[in-house]
């Protein structure tokens, strides 16, 4: 058999195993909307740890991370920085959101916010912002899957077919199993991609340079600009400190506010499990170290891939590794892509129904589940169309989405921590911040000091929220106390399944 045929066989076995785990994992949840969207609030520490880590680290880390280390050097370290910074507030926000959600039956971020600030307009706006950010994020995952499959099969399976194959599997098990399928496949995929990343991250520098130390010594001698913070911009010029620091800040603010991650607070069995997940999460960040080593190993490697995002599959193929190793690498990269893509598709559909449709129409549990399933397919198709554009950078796609997601931070903080906030203030701030972010996204030359558009949006969002809230009538104290008041967060755990 030719190498690409062996790789394809390994890939098929991996996809088959993932499908099996997804279908089995979804059987444990009830047929209700809470079962499909929140897993009956019964995720334990193991699943919460991997669903958080595998959801955060996706194709952008496994492919975009090495691509940035290879082409932009120290600029890639922003990815390492924002994860540790961004997850810390979740130690306090997550349990509080989960406690309110358990008491009131919330399963989405939008339900939490509009529970405090009742407004159908606000609910729809939250749904629109979430889905608008989800589409480029799902697109990123599909591109990553297609890039890997096309590269390791020598083009016999092109990007369009590879992305369709991988995400056809994802859509199928998400349709059948909901968040239960997402949780257990993420656990399997998280373990798999960590093992593959560390194996390749240590093997390639040793094979090509004789070790990690000698590799960096050669890069320091021949390409020192790659090891000087903040690294390089896309055109090869030095990246500005304004762009670098604001990219870290907007990503740190946005990481735990992604609806597909935020919603996992409602799936946890207890607040204690949420806190333990936050404490353990930085250990998952270690996944990035071998990913960056792979990218730096390619800096002085002869030849060049079509685009920087191809550097990892390019090196795997050019170093003439055995076909079975290439196949396992492909499966590891697919793990990174699919473990985030499934959560995104599930969340995008759930948010659209729960926050965008249900406020206007009474629906039975069965009807809600059917519409969510339909939207899983629809969002997947839309993202797939965008994924066929191979020119876009995986990391740039993600940074673009973070600008919108960061605008969800002030409403969440106001919901849980500020008694004086009002519906009018939250709505006005969200509109002003989102409009500002979108404006600077399409007018990058107008951004002062190259600051990320999401941070500029927040600079407008927060003052507007505060000013309008202070100018409008406060909410009834008995209503606000249900969200801001001091109530028991250390809930007892039910018996394990």
pLDDT at residue 294 is higher than 70: yes
C-alpha dihedral sign at 289, 291, 294, 295:
negative
Query: In terms of DSSP H, where are the helices of 286-393?
Result: 288-297, 311-318, 323-351, 365-387
pLDDT at residue 286 is higher than 60: yes
List % helix, strand, coil for the chain (3-state, nearest 5): 80, 0, 20
Integer Cα distance of 103 and 203 in angstroms:
50
pLDDT recorded at residue 429: 97
pLDDT at residue 29 is higher than 70: no
Parse the chain into domains and list their residue ranges: 3-403
Task: Give 355-368 pLDDT, tens digit per residue.
Answer: 999 888 888 888 88
pLDDT recorded at residue 492: 46
Q: Assign 69 a pLDDT band (cuts: 50, 70, 90).
A: very high
Lookup result for tokens 């059917």: 370
Calculated CA dihedral for residues 205, 209, 214, 220, nearest 10 degrees = -90
pLDDT recorded at residue 97: 92
Burial code (b: 16+ CB inside 10 Å, e: under 16) for 245-273 equals bbbbbbbbbbbbbbbbbbbbbbbbbbbbb
Q: Assign 411 a pLDDT band (cuts: 50, 70, 90).
A: very high
Q: Are 60 and 397 in contact (CB under 8 A)?
A: yes
| Highest-scoring range by mean pLDDT, 252-261, 335-344, 381-390, 459-468 | 459-468
Could you give phi then psi for residue 321, rounded to 5 degrees?
Answer: -75, 155
Q: Are 372 and 177 in contact (CB under 8 A)?
A: no
Residue 356 bridge partners (DSSP): none
pLDDT at residue 156 is higher than 60: yes
pLDDT recorded at residue 394: 53
Q: Assign 250 a pLDDT band (cuts: 50, 70, 90).
A: very high
Question: Maximum CA pair distance of the chain?
Answer: 74
The stretch 466-494 carries a mean pLDDT of 81
Tokens of 163: 């992305």
pLDDT at residue 178 is higher than 70: yes
pLDDT at residue 334 is higher than 90: no
Higher pLDDT, 79 or 296: 296
CA R_g for the chain: 22
Contacts of residue 449, defined as CB under 8 A and 6 or more positions apart, other chains included, come to 240, 242
The stretch 317-336 carries a mean pLDDT of 82
Q: Assign 493 a pLDDT band (cuts: 50, 70, 90).
A: very low
Q: Which CATH superfamily is domain 3-403 in?
A: Sodium/glucose cotransporter (1.20.1730.10)
Q: Assign 175 a pLDDT band (cuts: 50, 70, 90).
A: confident
pLDDT recorded at residue 398: 66
The stretch 253-277 carries a mean pLDDT of 86
Q: What is the pTM of this model?
A: 0.83
Q: Are 152 and 316 in contact (CB under 8 A)?
A: yes
Integer Cα distance of 99 and 78 in angstroms:
32
Percent of the chain residues past pLDDT 90, beyond the cut: 34
The stretch 394-420 carries a mean pLDDT of 85
pLDDT recorded at residue 292: 94
Provide the mean pLDDT of the chain.
86
């Amino acid at each position: 058999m030719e190498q690409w045929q062996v790789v394809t066989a390994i890939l098929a076995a991996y996809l088959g195993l993932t499908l099996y785990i997804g279908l089995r994992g979804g059987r444990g949840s009830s047929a209700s909307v809470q079962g499909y969207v929140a897993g009956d609030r019964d995720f334990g520490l193991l699943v919460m740890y991997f669903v958080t880590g595998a959801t955060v680290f996706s194709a952008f880390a496994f492919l975009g991370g090495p691509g940035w280390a290879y082409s932009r050097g120290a600029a890639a370290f922003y990815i390492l920085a924002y994860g540790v910074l961004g997850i810390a507030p979740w130690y306090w926000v997550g349990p509080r959101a989960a406690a309110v959600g358990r008491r009131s039956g919330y399963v989405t971020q939008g339900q939490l916010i509009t529970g405090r600030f009742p407004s159908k307009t606000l609910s729809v706006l939250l749904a629109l912002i979430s889905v608008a950010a989800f589409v480029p994020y799902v697109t990123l995952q599909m591109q990553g899957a297609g890039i890997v499959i096309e590269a390791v099969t020598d083009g016999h399976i092109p990007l369009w077919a590879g992305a369709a194959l991988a995400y056809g599997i994802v859509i199928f098990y998400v349709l059948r199993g909901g968040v239960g399928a997402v949780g257990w496949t993420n656990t399997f995929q998280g373990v798999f991609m960590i093992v593959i990343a560390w194996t390749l991250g240590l093997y390639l520098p040793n094979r090509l340079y004789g070790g990690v130390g000698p590799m960096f010594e050669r890069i320091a001698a021949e390409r020192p600009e790659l090891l000087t913070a903040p690294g390089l911009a896309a055109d090869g010029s030095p990246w500005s400190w304004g762009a670098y620091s604001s990219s870290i800040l907007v990503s740190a603010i946005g990481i735990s506010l992604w609806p597909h991650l935020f919603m996992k607070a409602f799936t946890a069995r207890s607040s204690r499990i949420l806190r333990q997940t936050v404490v353990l999460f930085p250990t998952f960040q270690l996944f990035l170290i071998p990913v960056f080593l792979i990218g730096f190993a390619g800096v002085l490697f002869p030849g060049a891939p079509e685009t920087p995002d191809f550097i990892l599959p390019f090196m795997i193929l050019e170093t003439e590794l055995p076909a079975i190793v290439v196949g396992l690498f492909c499966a590891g990269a697919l793990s990174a892509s699919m473990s985030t893509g499934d959560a995104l598709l599930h969340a995008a559909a759930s948010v659209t129904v729960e926050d965008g449709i249900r406020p206007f129409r009474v629906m039975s549990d069965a009807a809600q589940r059917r519409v969510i399933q339909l939207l899983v397919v629809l969002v997947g198709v839309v993202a797939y169309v965008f994924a066929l554009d191979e020119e876009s950078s995986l990391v740039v796609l993600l940074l673009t989405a973070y600008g919108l997601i960061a605008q969800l931070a002030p409403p969440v903080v106001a919901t849980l921590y500020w008694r004086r906030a009002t519906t009018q203030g939250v709505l006005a701030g969200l509109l002003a911040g989102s409009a500002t972010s979108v404006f600077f996204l399409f007018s990058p030359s107008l951004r002062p000091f190259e600051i990320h558009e999401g941070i500029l949006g927040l600079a407008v969002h927060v003052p507007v929220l505060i000013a309008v809230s202070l100018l409008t009538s406060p909410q009834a104290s008995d209503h606000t106390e249900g969200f801001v008041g001091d109530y028991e967060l250390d809930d007892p755990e039910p018996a394990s399944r």
